[in-house]
Chains A and B, each alone.
Chain A
Amino acid sequence: MAMTMTQKILANASNKAFVKSGDLIDVNLDLVLGNDITSPVAINEFNKIGINQVFDKNKIAIVPDHFTPNKDIKSAEQCKICREFARSMEIVNYFEIGQVGIEHALIPEKGLVVPGGVVIGADSHTCTYGALGAFSTGIGSTDMAAGMATGKAWFKVPEAIKFNLTGRLSKYVSGKDVILHIIGMIGVDGALYKSMEFTGTGISNLSMDDRFTMANMAIEAGAKNGIFPVDEKTLEYVKDHSSKPYKIFEADSDAKYCEIYNIDLSSIRPTVAFPHLPDNTRTIDQVGYIPIDQVVIGSCTNGRIEDLRAAASIFKGNKVHKNVRTIIFPATQRIYLEAIKEGLIEIFIEAGAAVSTPTCGPCLGGHMGVLAKGERCVSTTNRNFVGRMGHAESEVYLASPVVAAASAILGKISSPEEVIK
C-alpha cells in the first residue's frame, strides 16, 4: 500500500512496515523541545511521574527564547526553573543567554534535526523542521513531559494535502509570500489535522530559508506538519550543520492525497495578511493606503540570514520614515554575527532601525516592541490574532522582509518596487 512522505517517516519511527491515516501509533522521538514558557509546566508534570532521569539527555532541547533576556521577575523565575532542571538532568542542549537563539532557527543551525527524524516541541512552530524532510510537530507541555520521560509520543497518522509547486519566484517574492498565499487559499483550518506536503519541480528553486519559512507557517493552516522532499540543497545544509546520521524518505508515487493544489510560483505576488487572521490575505497590489506605526523584522518565521539580506537590500541608502519605529531581530547569535560581518547591521542602524539580541519578545506581545491601543504594525512574524502583539485594539499585518522594509521607509504598507525604482 502506498504512503505519503509523512506516513513513511511515522511508520519507520513506530517500527511498522505500513501505516495509514487514522491509525493510532506510538512513535520513537529523536528530539523533545521546549521553551521558557512551556518547559516550566512540562517540568512540573515530569516531576509528578516520580522518575529521576530523562529518557536521553542528548535528545532534549530547552531553549529559553520567549521572555529572554528576562523581561521581569516572574519570567526570570520561569527561566530559573528551566535552568535548574537542565542542570540537574544534565540536558546537553540547554542554551543560555549569549548562545541562545529563537528555537526554530537555532535547532536546525545546531544540527539537531536531520532528514527522516521525528521531533516534538512544546511550541506550535516546531513544524518548521519539515523543511529538512523530518516529521516535526507542536505539542503541549504535558506531551513534552511524557516525551522527556519515555522518548515516545502517540499520534494519529494524518492524511495529507499535496502542494505541487512549479516555476520560479519573481523578484521581491519569497517563501513568506508563497505560504501566505496558500493559507489565504485554504484558510486557517484548511489543513486541520493533516500534513501539508510540498512537492514539484519548483521546490529546487526555493532556498532552505524559504522552505523553513513555509514549513514554519503550516500550523497557521491548522496542519499537523508541513514537509519538503530532501534534495541537493537539503543535503548541503545537513552537511554544513550536522554529523548525525539521516534517512531520506520519499512519498510513494501512488500515495493518496485528500486534496492536490497546483501552484505556479511565478504567479505569486508579494502578499500581506490583514488583521486578525493569517488567511485574511491580499496581494500588495490590493492593499491600498495603510499608514503604520511600527515594523518588526525577525522571528522564527523570518529572522534568518537571507531575510536580513533581503531587508538590507531595501534599507540600503534609505531612512526609516519619521512616524515608524523599526525593530530588527536576528534569530540566532550566529545569524547576528554573520549580519555584522556582511555589513547588514550597519545598513539597518544607518537607516534608523533598532537591532536587538535574538528573542521571540515582540511577536507574541511579550516585550521589546509591544503595541499601544490603535497602533498598526507590519511584521514578518506568523500571527496577527487580536492582541497578538499588544493592545487588543492594535493591528498586525503579516508580510515578507522586503515588504516590511519598504513599509518602514514609506510609513505605509508598501511594495519594494515603490522604494527601488
Chain B
Amino acid sequence: MVGKVIKYGDNIDTDVIIPARYLNTSDPYELSLHCMEDIDKDFIKKVNKGDIIVGGKNFGCGSSREHAPIAIKASGISLVIAETFARIFFRNSINIGLPIIECAEAAKDINEGDELEIDTTKGEIINKTQEKSYQTSPFPPFMQDIINAGGLINKIEREANK
C-alpha cells in the first residue's frame, strides 16, 4: 500500500469529519462529498485514491456516527494513522474495514505530502520521503479475524452459516 499524506492535528472530531447537517443520508458517496469540510474545505478536491490521513491525538473523538469512517473510506483514503484514536471511531473503522494504525512516533514525524509505503502484514510504515521506517504492533488475533473476514458483519454471517 503506497499513498501520499494529508495531515491534521489533535482531536479531529467526527463533527468535522462529517458535519451532522449531512447525516440525513447514509449514502457513502454523498457523505464523502462533505468529508472534512469544516476544517479543510479543499479536502475532497485534493484527495486522491489511496491517500493516507495522518492525525494527532484522539482522532475521531465525539459522536458514534459510523458515517465518519464511511465518509473517509468513500473519499478514497486507504488508511488513517494517528497518535491515538477515540475508541468508538477505532471500533467503527475495524468493523467497516477502514484500515487504521496507531503509531505515535510515526504520526508525529510524518509531514503533509510525504509518501508512505505500508506493509500491513509486517506492521511496517516506511516514510519514503523522509527515508524513515516505523514498526507497529499487530492487531490482536480477535480483531485480525474481523479484519480478515472483511468486517464484523461478514464474520457474523460466516459464523451464522457454519
Contact = CB atoms under 8 A, between A and B. Distances in A.
B151 A142 contact: yes
A189 B153 contact: no
Choose among A66, A75, A139 the residue with the greatest number of B CB atoms under 10 Å from its CB: A139
B88 A385 contact: no
B91 A139 contact: yes
A124 B64 contact: yes
Contacts of A387: 15-16, 19, 38
Contact of A48 (B13, B65, B92, B153): B153
Interface string B19-43: 1110111100000000001110000
Nearest to A392: B38
B16 A385 contact: yes
B91 A386 contact: no
Nearest to B16: A386
Interface in B70-89: 70, 84, 86-88
Contact of A277 (B11, B86, B91, B156): B11
A193 B87 contact: yes
Contacts of A48: 153, 157
A419 interface: no
B33 to A, nearest CB: 14
Contacts of A74: 24-25
A175 to B, nearest CB: 21
12 contacts: A24-B142, A37-B67, A41-B67, A49-B153, A78-B26, A139-B91, A140-B92, A142-B92, A143-B95, A146-B152, A189-B57, A385-B16
Interface of B: 11, 13, 15-16, 19-21, 23-26, 37-39, 57-58, 61-67, 70, 84, 86-88, 91-92, 95-96, 140, 142, 151-153, 156-157, 160-161
Given A78-B24, A192-B87, A388-B15, 5 more contacts: A37-B23, A140-B91, A143-B92, A145-B153, A189-B61
Interface of A: 24, 37-38, 40-41, 44-45, 48-51, 66-67, 71-72, 74-75, 78, 121-124, 126, 138-143, 145-146, 149-150, 154, 188-189, 192-193, 219, 222, 224, 277, 364-366, 370, 383, 385-388, 392
